[in-house]
Chains A and B, each alone.
Chain A
Amino acid sequence: MTAERAATRDFEDRPAARDVAVAWLRVLWVVARDPRALLIVAGVGAAVWLVGLRRVDITRIGDLGIASMLPLWGIAGLTLLVVAFCLALVNSKSPAWLLAAILLAIIVLLYGLTAMLEHEARFAAAWRHAGFTDYFLRHGSTNTRLDAYFAWPGFFVGLAFLTRASGLDTPEHLLSVANWAPLFFNLLYGLVLFAIYSSLTIDRRVRWLGLWFFFLNNWAGQDYMAPQALAYLLYLVLIWTVLRSFRTGSPWPDWLRRVARDRSETQALGRRIRLAPLVVVVALFTALVVSHPLTPFFTIAAVIVLVIFAGVRPWWLPVTLLGIVAVWDALTMRDFLAGHSEVLTSIWSGISGKLDQNLAARIVGSPEHLFIVRLRLVMTGVLWALGGLGALRLWRSRATQLTAVMLALAPLSMVPLQAYGGEMLIRAEFFALPFVTFLAAQLFYPLPKSRDSGRKTAALVLMSIVMLGAFLFTRFGNERQDYMSTGEVKASHYLYAVANPGTLLVWAPNLPVKYRDIENFLYDDISAKDLKTLDVKAFETRLRSRNLEAHIVITRSAKAAVDMSSGQKPGSLDRFQAALQADPNFQVVFHNQDAEIFFLDRGTQKP
Chain B
Amino acid sequence: MARPAVRPALILGVTLLTALSSIVEAPSQLRLVLLLGFLTFLPGLSLLALFPPRDVVSAIAFSIGLSLALDLLIVSASMYSGAFSPANMLTVLLAVTFIVSSAQLAGGLGLVTWPSISLWPDDPNGAEPSYAGWYQVTMGPFKGMWTKSALWPQTERSPYPGLALEPAPSAQRGLSSELRATPQPRISPHSGFSLADLSAQPSPSRPVSRTRIVSITSPVSRGGKASLVANTAPYATCHLVVYYGSGPTRVAGSGQRQADGEGDISWTWRVGTRTSPGTWTIEVICDPGGSTSATLTVR
Contacts and interface: CB of A to CB of B under 8 A. Distances in A.
Interface in A548-587: none
A374 interface: no
Contacts of B125: 269-270
B2 interface: no
Interface stretch (A119-127, A158-166, A210-218, A589-597): A158-166
B119 A237 contact: no
B170 interface: no
Which one of A161, A173, A230, A233 has the greatest number of beta carbons of chain B within 10 Å?
A161
Interface stretch (B70-78, B98-106, B176-184, B248-256): B70-78
B175 interface: no
A262 interface: yes
Contact of A272 (B40, B122, B216): B122
Contact of A202 (B39, B87, B229, B299): B229
Given A161-B86, A188-B64, A192-B64, A267 B216 contact: yes
Contacts of B120: 274-276
A157 B75 contact: yes
Given A191-B64, A267-B215, A154 B122 contact: no
B111 to A, nearest CB: 27
Given A167-B28, A270-B122, A261 B90 contact: no
B84 A280 contact: no
A157 B124 CA distance: 38
Contacts of B82: 140-141
A238 interface: yes
Interface in A159-197: 160-168, 173-174, 177, 184, 188, 191-192, 194-196
A490 interface: no
Interface stretch (A281-289, A359-367, A407-415, A452-460): A281-289
Q: Among the interface residues A153, A154, A164, A287, which one has the most CB atoms of the partner chain B within 10 A? A: A287
Nearest to A285: B69
A165 B60 contact: no
A240 interface: yes
Contacts of B220: 261-262
Contacts of B171: none
A165 B76 contact: no
B79 A280 contact: no
Contacts of B57: 191, 194-195, 198
A346 interface: no
Contact of A153 (B32, B61, B76, B266): B76
Contact of A275 (B40, B119, B213, B215): B119
B35 A195 contact: no
Contacts of A166: 28, 31-32, 35
Interface string A285-316: 01100110000000000000000000000000
A272 B119 CA distance: 13
Contacts of A191: 57, 60-61, 64
Given A233-B64, A271-B122, A287-B73, A162 B219 contact: no
Given A154-B76, A265-B217, A233 B66 contact: no
A261 B225 CA distance: 10
Contacts of B76: 153-154, 157, 287, 290
Given A204-B262, A265-B215, A283 B28 contact: no
Contact of A165 (B86, B126, B299): B86
Contacts of A136: 79
A237 B28 contact: no
Interface string A137-152: 0001110000000000
A272 B121 contact: yes
A168 B60 contact: no
Contacts of B68: 230, 233-234, 237, 287
Contacts of B16: none
A264 interface: yes
B133 interface: no
Interface in A331-351: none
A248 interface: yes
Interface string B226-238: 1101010000000
Contact of B69 (A198, A234, A257): A234
B194 interface: no
B87 to A, nearest CB: 7
A68 interface: no
A173 B29 CA distance: 10
Chain B at the A interface: SS class: mixed
A233 B294 CA distance: 33
B47 to A, nearest CB: 10
A167 B35 CA distance: 11
Given A262-B224, A269-B124, A164 B70 contact: no
A448 interface: yes
A280 B65 CA distance: 9
B123 interface: yes
A237 B214 CA distance: 19
B294 A168 contact: no
A192 B65 contact: yes
Q: Among A153, A238, A276, which residue has the most Cβ atoms of chain B within 10 A?
A: A276
Nearest to A268: B124
A161 B35 CA distance: 10
Nearest to A96: B262
Interface in B231-281: 231, 262, 264, 266
Task: Please indicate which of the listed interface residues A177, A202, A272 has the most CB atoms of chain B within 10 Å of its own CB.
Answer: A202
A283 B119 CA distance: 16
Contact of B32 (A168, A194, A262, A270): A168
B123 A270 contact: yes
Nearest to B213: A269
Interface in A486-508: none
A174 B35 CA distance: 13
Contact of B29 (A177, A194, A240, A274): A177
Contacts of A195: 57-58, 60-61
A284 B58 contact: no
B51 interface: yes
Given A164-B86, A261-B219, A274-B121, A188 B40 contact: yes
Given A158-B71, A174-B32, A196-B61, 5 more contacts: A188-B40, A233-B64, A237-B61, A261-B224, A272-B122
23 contacts: A158-B71, A161-B89, A162-B35, A165-B31, A191-B64, A194-B57, A195-B58, A202-B229, A233-B64, A237-B61, A261-B224, A262-B225, A266-B214, A269-B125, A269-B295, A270-B124, A276-B120, A287-B68, A287-B69, A290-B72, A290-B76, A291-B72, A399-B227
Interface of B: 22, 25-26, 28-29, 31-32, 35-36, 39-40, 50-51, 57-58, 60-62, 64-66, 68-73, 75-76, 79, 82, 84, 86-87, 89-90, 119-126, 190, 213-221, 224-227, 229, 231, 262, 264, 266, 294-295, 299
The 4 residue pairs across chains A and B that have the minimum distance between CB atoms: A237-B65, A270-B124, A195-B61, A164-B86
